[in-house]
């Protein structure tokens, strides 16, 4: 017969400690349930850039904590490739991206079309297209334009919208989905 309290811990005390830790580690987003649905205890993001040829596959969240080295890697990867400028990306956007990817059960990485955009790049893109916002959330590090070859724009947008964490735009003609951590809204076809 074994004694559950032989090491100074009872099973009940251990479970109570775990429950208290789980509550403290829970994200404090207003729509946390949406993020947690696809987030998990380990959050991973996989992307590649056709512009730079770079690839990344990193675990950036482990049991309630962001991994600083991984966050730095994400910030650099999502830089404005035209100016080589980077910014601290809003981690809520990364969480939406990761949760949507998990819900899609996709093994391929996202193709990152646009992450951070410098004001200069945004102005240049805006001069070429009416669809580029003057005060784009890309300039604040709060948005990403993404594509998966194995999933349709509609499937990706549906998964991102299920997170209820921000804006989701469908750009079927250009074959990408915009995800941001701004106001919850959807647009496009």
CATH classification at residue 148 = 3.30.1380.10
User: 56 in a domain, yes or no?
Assistant: yes
User: 7 in a domain, yes or no?
Assistant: no
Q: How many CB atoms lie within 10 A of CB 105?
A: 9
Q: Which structural domain range is residue 101 located in?
A: 12-188
Say which residue the tokens 């998966």 belong to.
148
Residues in the chain where the model's pLDDT stays below 50: 1-34, 36-37
User: 50 in a domain, yes or no?
Assistant: yes
- Asked if 181 and 142 count as a contact pair (C-beta separation under 8 A), the reply is yes
Q: Can you give the pLDDT at residue 39? A: 53
CA distance 126 to 136: 10
Report the chain's terminal Cα–Cα distance, integer Å: 65
CA distance 156 to 146: 9
User: 173 in a domain, yes or no?
Assistant: yes
Cα angle 39-98-45, degrees, rounded to a multiple of 5:
120
How many separate domains does the chain show? 1
CA distance 47 to 39: 17
User: 1 in a domain, yes or no?
Assistant: no
What percent of the chain is helix, strand and coil (3-state, nearest 5)? 40, 25, 40
Q: Can you give the pLDDT at residue 63? A: 85
User: 178 in a domain, yes or no?
Assistant: yes
């Amino acid at each position: 017969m074994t004694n559950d309290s032989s090491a100074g811990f009872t099973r009940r005390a251990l479970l109570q400690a775990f429950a208290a830790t789980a509550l403290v580690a829970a994200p404090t987003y207003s729509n946390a349930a949406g993020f947690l649905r696809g987030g998990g205890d380990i959050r991973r993001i996989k992307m590649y850039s056709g512009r730079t040829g770079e690839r990344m596959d990193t675990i950036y969240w482990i049991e309630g904590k962001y991994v600083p080295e991984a966050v730095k890697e994400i910030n650099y990867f999502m830089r404005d490739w035209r100016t080589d400028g980077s910014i601290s990306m809003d981690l809520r956007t990364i969480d939406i991206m990761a949760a949507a990817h998990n819900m899609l059960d996709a093994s391929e990485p996202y193709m990152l079309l646009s992450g951070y955009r410098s004001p200069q790049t945004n102005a240049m893109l805006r001069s070429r297209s009416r669809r580029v916002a003057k005060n784009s959330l890309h300039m604040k590090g709060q948005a990403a334009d993404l594509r998966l070859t194995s999933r349709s724009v509609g499937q990706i947008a549906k998964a991102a919208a299920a997170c209820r964490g921000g804006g989701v735009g469908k750009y079927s003609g250009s074959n990408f989905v915009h995800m941001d951590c701004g106001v919850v809204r959807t647009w496009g076809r």
